[in-house]
Structure 1
């Protein structure tokens, strides 16, 4: 199995918990006809929205009496039976994975104004079956009586969901499985600031680091909340500049047209949605913050994966502030694993897509890092062609084409 994880310096614990559980447990499934199941656990429909030419399912899986998790699944456009299955999760914490579906890697994108959608030819369903899940409860269309407030709680709910999803659709349980997560907890840095603002941020950094160390040492929520507040405050110097935290090249925020689309009654009915759409849940975000969860490091969990032979891909858009590539590079070089020295001694190479520079990459054994040129926080939104190239080669266990390789083929390159 390949596991795709995208973040910068701090990883969403639900990915790691789920991977460990998958490694330790084997799922026994009775092969049955999914359409014949009559079970209140499942409230699922099959629509023709987004891409009417592929098999798709959406709706809810009830994992307990308090929790109804919404999902939208699409089969691959090409040879779905032999394609892998990729799980997509957005961050926040508390943001809907429908954002990734409709704005980044799904089979359709909203037109201006959000009144309708159009085909997305560079969707990742070109090469993979895709499963988008709104989690935890209160994100997107998911609902329930209990809102979780830690990544551990969220990961356990996610694991239960996937168990039930594969019970409902056993044909997808046999596929190669990839986990892909975006954002949630990138480390902050300081691009696009003047020298005095940078000096202030540097002067405040030791206090932030000391509080983080104290949080890790005690594990107490109050100590971790203190670290969260102090460290996030450092980034306020950047935020006050007016530039977007998702793209240092602009003052504009990310587009939100998809909220208009998901609010349409006919769309909600077609996909089986039973509550209004919540782009990012403030309740979930506040809960994670007040538990001190957002400052926690899961570096050791990534090391666990690498030391047990699981592939890990980490990439960042080079115009992203909130999950910037500087912190991503620092993080991957700090990982303690079997081939740490070999990875750190490997060179950063230009990544070539077609006749263009797509970015830079370094890789050794199971660890790959990619800096994506001309991309903000939601990399596939800015660079759909390059992100599809990266994803396709990753799931096929192929190395990205680099400058040294392209010279052998006589490719004339230009920066995109």
Structure 2
């Protein structure tokens, strides 16, 4: 017999299922090319139409918790970029399957189970957003013009409609999560959902519990300026050069005064020191097939940006050269563009020209230079927040993340201390609390951009403990 709460959920949602004109499709995937046998977890893929006339069709992968989907958290996961496919986060970071690199060729990738998948403790919706990312598409050309605010609105609409079509998850704890550039949009999405809940927006409100941000890009000044501070702390810059740059540039490294010759000279020296460092993980080799950047009299912060991973597509791994993580990404292009794979995933034929791990040609408007005001608004809600950083990430250094968190002015409830996995220090953590809002900040020792790809075992332990309200 169904429980009373299940009956109430059915009664509340039934009118919307009967009378709404929601454009959506969904398919249960039993097998995938490259994986031997049936999938040992529930995978659903589909599209949900959002925006004007539902011309934007957002593609998703839904994977039920492998533990207890009835009670475990439900997480909407957004990969960064903007424009990086949900499949990238699924395969390379926290999903239940990944590539079997040892037994894959460049033309025939094979899959294996990920023993450290976050789906072992929660259900995940991996969403291709914004439109033009992964397998998501628009039925009209003007539908591809998107920005931070409009993309966030479409994502909010997506999760509301997804829950309408999956009412059995309405009572599960819901977390909005993502990494890298998603640090800009996740707080906006959460505020939009929260506002809708407070005004009684239909359908029945989701059970929002909080949000998760990994290696998040949140504020241009804090995040990008902190790269030079981080580089000095990691002994990539001499103390004299750092002190000179700090003094001559007045602590402003990303938008220096173009007439300040002393500052520009120091910044050129900084570029020389950091030019061959692999920003996503400073301890790993840098692989870049592009020509070195010519010397500039002006400081160009793009020289510190994450290198284009597409640049290595035409370069096979050299037998006598260094291993580079970039080579792992080549398999996703081969696999996701295979028509057999696309049919297995129920991708609509003819809707995209070519799948890209990260689409750098989006018609995307960067409406926000900071999401800190949204973060500050969320501190007034009864939410839990988890923010984590790989401590060897120079794309979004932990230094800037710590600074903007401290700018929120939240009282510390549990001060800085190590956390452990298998008796070893896995990183450090501090917790802030004000009334019913809590924010847990975590560093992951030795991890890069983004942390679960580099330290999967430690990150699974982190998220499992946090979901369970246990101390890290």
Aligned positions, number: 345
CA contact (8 A) 1:90 1:183 kept: yes
> How far does residue 206 in structure 1 lie from its aligned partner after superposition?
4.6
CA contact (8 A) 2:46 2:59 kept: yes
1:69 and 2:58 equivalent?
yes
Measure the CA separation in 1 of the matches of 2:92 and 2:459.
13
1:134 aligns with one of 101, 122, 128: 128
Measure the CA separation in 2 of the matches of 1:72 and 1:374.
29
Q: SS of the counterpart of 1:367?
A: strand
2:180 aligns with one of 173, 183, 187: 183
Match for residue 242 of structure 1? 276
Match for residue 259 of structure 1? 333
CA gap of 1:205–1:80, structure 2 versus 1, over 3 A, is farther
Measure the CA separation in 2 of the matches of 1:333 and 1:127.
30
2:404 aligns with one of 309, 313, 331: 331
CA contact (8 A) 1:110 1:261 kept: no
Deviations 1:143-175 (A, max 9, x none): 113124321100111111112111211112221
Cα RMSD of the aligned pairs, angstroms, is: 3.2
Measure the CA separation in 1 of the matches of 2:441 and 2:335.
35
2:440 aligns with one of 352, 355, 368: 368
CA contact (8 A) 1:61 1:68 kept: yes
Match for residue 165 of structure 1? 162
> How far does residue 262 in structure 1 lie from its aligned partner after superposition?
1.1
Match for residue 45 of structure 1? 27
Match for residue 125 of structure 1? 119
1:283 and 2:361 equivalent?
yes
Match for residue 456 of structure 2? 384
Consecutive unaligned residues of structure 1, counting only runs of 5 or more, are 1-25, 213-229, 401-416
Measure the CA separation in 1 of the matches of 2:157 and 2:268.
38
CA gap of 1:234–1:90, structure 2 versus 1, over 3 A, is farther
Task: Report the TM-score, using the length of structure 2 for normalisation.
Answer: 0.66
**Higher relative contact order (Cα pairs below 8 Å, separated by 6+ residues):** 1
CA gap of 1:244–1:210, structure 2 versus 1, over 3 A, is closer
> After TM superposition, which residue ranges in structure 1, 4 or more long, deviate above 6 angstroms?
36-40, 209-212, 233-236
> How far does residue 236 in structure 1 lie from its aligned partner after superposition?
8.3
Match for residue 314 of structure 1? 387
Measure the CA separation in 2 of the matches of 1:205 and 1:142.
44
Match for residue 236 of structure 2? 193
> How far does residue 287 in structure 1 lie from its aligned partner after superposition?
2.6
Q: SS of the counterpart of 2:457?
A: helix
CA contact (8 A) 1:166 1:172 kept: yes
CA contact (8 A) 2:131 2:146 kept: no
> How far does residue 73 in structure 1 lie from its aligned partner after superposition?
0.3
Q: SS of the counterpart of 1:386?
A: helix
Q: SS of the counterpart of 2:283?
A: coil
1:104 and 2:93 equivalent?
yes
Q: SS of the counterpart of 2:159?
A: helix
1:268 aligns with one of 342, 363, 386: 342
Measure the CA separation in 2 of the matches of 1:249 and 1:31.
54
Task: Report the TM-score, using the length of structure 1 for normalisation.
Answer: 0.75
Deviations 1:341-392 (A, max 9, x none): 435xx53101111211110001133011111101011211111111011111
CA contact (8 A) 1:32 1:170 kept: no
Measure the CA separation in 2 of the matches of 1:238 and 1:91.
28
Deviations 1:10-57 (A, max 9, x none): xxxxxxxxxxxxxxxx999524999x9997712322112377122221
Measure the CA separation in 1 of the matches of 2:25 and 2:256.
46
Deviations 1:176-201 (A, max 9, x none): 10111101136131315333764675
